[in-house]
Amino acid sequence: MLLHELVAATREVAATSSRLKKVAALAEALRALDGAEIGPAIGFLTASPRQGRIGVGWRGLTGLAVAHTDAPSLTVLDVDAALDRIAATAGAGSVDARRQALIALAQRATAEEWDFVSRVILGELRTGALEGVLLDAIAKASDRPIAAVRRAAMLSGDLGETARIALGGSLDDLESVGLRVGRPVMPMLASTAGSAAEALATLGREASVEYKLDGARIQVHFDRARPEGDDVHVYTRSLAEVTHRVPELAAAVRALPVERVILDGETLSLDEDGGPRAFQDTMARFGSETAAAIVLRPWFFDILHVDGRDLIDEPLSARLEILERVVGPLRMPGIVTADAERAEQFSREALAAGHEGVMVKDISSPYAAGRRGKSWLKVKPVLTFDLVVLAVEWGSGRRTGMLSNLHLGARDPDGAFGDPGGFVMVGKTFKGLTDATLRWQTEHFPTIETHRSAYAVHVRPETVVEIAIDGVQRSSRYPGGVALRFARVKAYRPDKDASEADTIETLRALLRG
């Protein structure tokens, strides 16, 4: 398949809000793929190329000055092979070698194709081709039951491999995909609820109420029959393997009274008083080879397999009973209750212990990947702050031609990080914007424009917007030393003056909280 055909499909997907139309466009593109193209194409569509990170960042891509071709000729496999070569480049002179390989690829691409490839490399495709939509498209393109496709994707942990089997194999091949110790499984995810009591009411029955840690999701596979060093595999939420960076987690699992097991859980680091450290401290262990001084501790909340017995189709109540026997003190703190007040009390206890909130889970539910249904509900307080818009970036995809991504600033009254009375950038967001809000932004911000850069319209700092966040983290990128986590727009506040915006010190205090 020519790359421009895949790009055209993503353009069609981005241009519509209809899930059915997205699925139809993707299914048509999937049907046109040859066997070897399926895996790479799925990686491109999810902005998760099979090569993973290839050592190229935003500056390396935007700093290229090349003349693109006008006639599309690149194929999906051409791009996949180029990414292979770039990812394999290492050692002395590798920076220049990667740059030359990027230039060669960019010169063979049209401007639109290069924009697509760049966003794939950066993991910022934003077409609306989420995994759930792609699963539906794979089912439609292959004429296979969606339940069979979803289950194969969950158990293989590989959307590309699932598509290859569905499109090129039989239904029996698809249904034969099973749970295997050592092969990561797509994690079960949660929807949200406003409170523990609300979550219980949604489930309508007794539920497991568990701590929700501000840590990193882990999935651990252990097979004692393998030689040490290959007996434990630790995977992140995205199914990236990090075993070599977390030896203390491997050691904790080796000490369990089992021969083979798959566990789902979270890990975080603790301070000297036994309280949770900042999320960033935990994540440092997954992104660095030199953060071994930060010791991680695992908590497990589910068990998918034990000693030859698959558990994913058994109810959570049965899995929790087995989990308790297997992991003992490593089990996530939790209770089983149908009492709303007891659930709320436990939620308050979780917050008092420094954790994010609670998970409320239907104890009759099997283990299933994705946010389908309401079997798992997460409850955590939402923080809101009034911030000021400093600049707005032009959108892409279906937002092309509209001002979309907001640069957000907090007030710096004392000038601790800049000019007294000025504003300090603390993050960006394009989340929570309705079509009406996008149209308003596109009309409004040019009226208060101060200047333009290549990607953004910079504006007078006078527009106040209410932003919801899950918290903050330390940042060396922003001068205030703090960055927003999971920021999204709640509403613009024309009733407020910029002088009423929250301060950088208010946000920094969350780091100490």
Catalytic annotation, residues: 212
Q: What's the CA gap between 158 and 43, in Å, rounded?
A: 10
Bridging pattern class, strands 207-212 and 191-192: unpaired
- Which residue reads 């001068």 in tokens? 479
Give the closest residue to 389 by CA, choosing from 477, 336, 467.
467
> In this structure, what is the dihedral angle of CA atoms 406, 409, 410, 415, given to the nearest 10 degrees?
180
Give the closest residue to 316 by CA, choosing from 272, 349, 360.
360
Residues within the annotated binding site for ATP?
Answer: 210, 217, 237, 266, 301, 372, 378
- Which residue reads 């009423």 in tokens? 500
Give the closest residue to 23 by CA, choosing from 189, 157, 154, 149.
149
Structure-block tokens of residue 510 = 């969350």
Q: Which residue type occupies 122? A: L
Q: What's the CA gap between 3 and 7, in Å, rounded?
A: 6
- Half-sphere exposure in the Cβ direction for 73 (13 Å, CA): 8
- Which residue reads 């149908």 in tokens? 338
3-state SS, 13-47, equals HHCCCCHHHHHHHHHHHHHCCCHHHHHHHHHHHCC
Give the closest residue to 221 by CA, choosing from 157, 174, 158.
157
> In this structure, what is the dihedral angle of CA atoms 46, 49, 55, 59, given to the nearest 10 degrees?
-40
Structure-block tokens of residue 469 = 């966040």
**Residues whose CB falls within 8 Å of the CB of residue 440, separated by 6 or more in sequence, listed in order:** 492
Contacts 24+ apart (CB under 8 A), 171-176: 171/144, 171/145, 174/144, 174/148, 174/149, 175/148, 175/151
CB atoms within 10 A of CB 57: 12
Q: What's the CA gap between 326 and 261, in Å, rounded?
A: 9
Q: What is the per-residue burial (b if ≥16 Cβ within 10 Å, else e) of 279-316?
A: bbbbbbbbeeeebeeeebbbbbbbbbbbeeeebbebeb
DSSP state of 293: T
- Which residue reads 């809101």 in tokens? 384
> In this structure, what is the dihedral angle of CA atoms 75, 76, 79, 80, given to the nearest 10 degrees?
-140
